[in-house]
Amino acid sequence: MTICAIYARVSDESQLKGDSIDHQISYCKENARRRSHEEGTQWFTPDTFIYVDEGITGTSMVKRPAVQRLIRDARARQFEVVLFKGISRFARDTVDALLMLRTLTACGVRVVSMEENFDSRRDNAEFIFTIHSALAQAESEKTAIRVRVGAAQKARSGKWNGQPPDGYTLNPETKRLEVDESFAPIVSDIFTMYLNGYGCRKIADVLNGEGRYTKRGNFWTQRNISRMLRNPVYVGDVVYGRREQRVTFPDESDPLARKKRAVWVGDPERHTVCNDAHPGIVSRELFEQVQEKLDKRRLMVGSNKHDCLLSKGLLICTCGSSMTITYNKAGTPYYRCLRKHDSGRTICNSGHVRARDVEQAVLNRARTDILEAINFDELVIPEMETENLEKKLVSLQKDLSKEMDRSQQLFDQYTVGNLLDDQYTTMNSTIRNRILTLQKTRDRLLKEIGAKQEQANVEQLVRQAMHDFLNLDTSDVLVTREILSMFIKNVTVLRSREGLKEISITYRFAKPVHETKQ
């Protein structure tokens, strides 16, 4: 008796809805029954050794758990033959297919494909298999091209490809995006917070702390905040081709680990763009301001692990040279003299300065001096407009009322027995999440309106802002550094007779030079 394994795969949801898997398995079993009569030995196909991958692309083996399980069982000598309907069902990458063939035959497993009438026991089997797999790969690449061309044409007409981004829903008839009024305020707040000086990590912390999670109920991360800020979909544009899939080739440790990864396409000429394809959540002016700030930040951020406040010419050595960041073996950041590094001790014999110590000393001194220089009696904050916030609040209250009505209607359907427990739980959970998000947004708007209607304490606001941004544990290092650059011309590291380092701050405003030990 010959024990046979069967491998079957479908790659998309359209195939999953049909009987493609059942057809492949039945096809293989019928072939095994026929070969039993031809060879006079029963080919047995137990259900235990049927390996199925559903909804997984044929161009990447590393993503297919059934393939990995097939290999493990082959090495354990669990079966003698593996059957599949066609090589395209098995692998559409020539290298993957050939490696799999060699792996299985090395385990003593006979490989049989019905459509190509392939049998690994025949002469020139590897050569024939390579030709068939190359044809399968070529067909896969042509299919991928057709899909990309179709998606680009769809985007060119303003229709959306794939799942809608946070802040939008997809109209199933027009295939265009529509604003999700319950989530759009969060998107708007993200852009506004970034423009007001919040970094991506700080924005994520604020939203997560307020319980305002992503549309799927997940925590915000620095990465998805950054991607949202870069996405032109939020001004109403559909842009296709911003990212593309590229193959990551294997290393020696795992020759089968060939997979694709998404990379950004930096060339705008390769993008398909449809402007004003759907309503925007943020204005183009706000979006462009955010892009300008993102670009500026990217240029300012270097490869250093430490977000240094005093680099790029702000911190000056005693010899007059700029100081840059360096690290000891423990990873502690220090500032060092560039001239000494380039020319040696004969030019400058200053030592390193611990970064956190000198930064803390500068921030403490600068915060005090700047506040002393401000005449609060002459400082007036203009009255803040609340009309737009009130309009948002009215719209949000309407959406909240609709969701509450939906929740009540769903409960009524459940109580009369029109919905099963699982159905009600799933549907009600979605509605409840939307209600909670709307309620949190409403509460925040009420607080903002109340705060803006109160008489602002100018001195308190300024002192709080100085404390928040001129702080070593600031939420946004770049904003803190920009503020320092606005008020400070340079900081000079001095020597003292006691051997301790001192700093001298030269301000851009009329303020005496202060010296302090650190």
List, in sequence order, every beta strand (DSSP E) within 427-487: none
C-alpha dist (Å) from residue 361 to 334, 385, 462, 466: 14, 39, 21, 15
For residues 339 and 371, state if they share a domain.
Answer: yes
d(CA 143, CA 88): 12
Residue 262 counted as domain residue: no
* CATH number for the domain harbouring residue 105: 3.40.50.1390
* Residues 12-63: tens digit of each pLDDT: 544 444 447 888 888 899 889 888 888 888 898 998 999 988 755 544 555 5
- At residue 266, the pLDDT reads 56
Residue 112 counted as domain residue: yes
* Residues 195-233: tens digit of each pLDDT: 888 888 788 888 888 888 888 888 888 888 988 898 888
DSSP string, 309-323: SSTTTTEE-TTS-BE
Strands 488-495 and 501-507: antiparallel
* Residues 133-158: tens digit of each pLDDT: 666 666 666 666 666 666 667 767 77
C-beta separation of 98 from 126 below 8 A: yes
For residue 36, the tally of other CB atoms under 10 A from its CB is 16
Residue 470 counted as domain residue: yes
Residue 250 counted as domain residue: no
d(CA 25, CA 255): 29
Number of structural domains (the chain) is: 4
For residues 170 and 282, state if they share a domain.
Answer: yes
The domain of 396 spans 387-449
Last residue of a domain, one of 449, 472, 499: 449
- At residue 14, the pLDDT reads 40
Phi and psi dihedrals of 187, rounded to 5? Answer: -60, -45
Residue 306 counted as domain residue: no
Produce one character per residue of 293-317: b if its CB has 16 or more CB atoms within 10 Å, e if not. Answer: beeebeeeeeeeebbbbbbeebbbb
For the chain (518 residues), the mean pLDDT of every run of 10, in chain order, is: 88 51 87 86 90 64 75 91 82 71 88 85 74 66 66 74 86 87 90 88 86 85 86 84 55 49 56 80 90 74 57 82 82 82 73 85 86 69 59 81 84 80 80 81 76 57 73 71 82 64 80 50
* CATH number for the domain harbouring residue 184: 3.90.1750.20
Residue 361 counted as domain residue: yes
For residues 340 and 471, state if they share a domain.
Answer: yes
Strands 501-507 and 272-274: unpaired
For residues 362 and 296, state if they share a domain.
Answer: no
For residues 352 and 476, state if they share a domain.
Answer: yes
Last residue of a domain, one of 95, 119, 142: 142
Residue 308 counted as domain residue: no
What is the Cα gyration radius of the chain?
32
* Residues 376-398: tens digit of each pLDDT: 666 555 554 556 667 777 888 88
- Average pLDDT over the chain reads 76
Can you tell me which residue has the tokens 């066609």?
Answer: 86
Last residue of a domain, one of 72, 107, 142: 142
Angle between helices 387-415 and 421-453 (to 10 degrees): 160
- At residue 376, the pLDDT reads 65
For residues 220 and 289, state if they share a domain.
Answer: yes
Residue 413 counted as domain residue: yes
Amino acid at 29: K
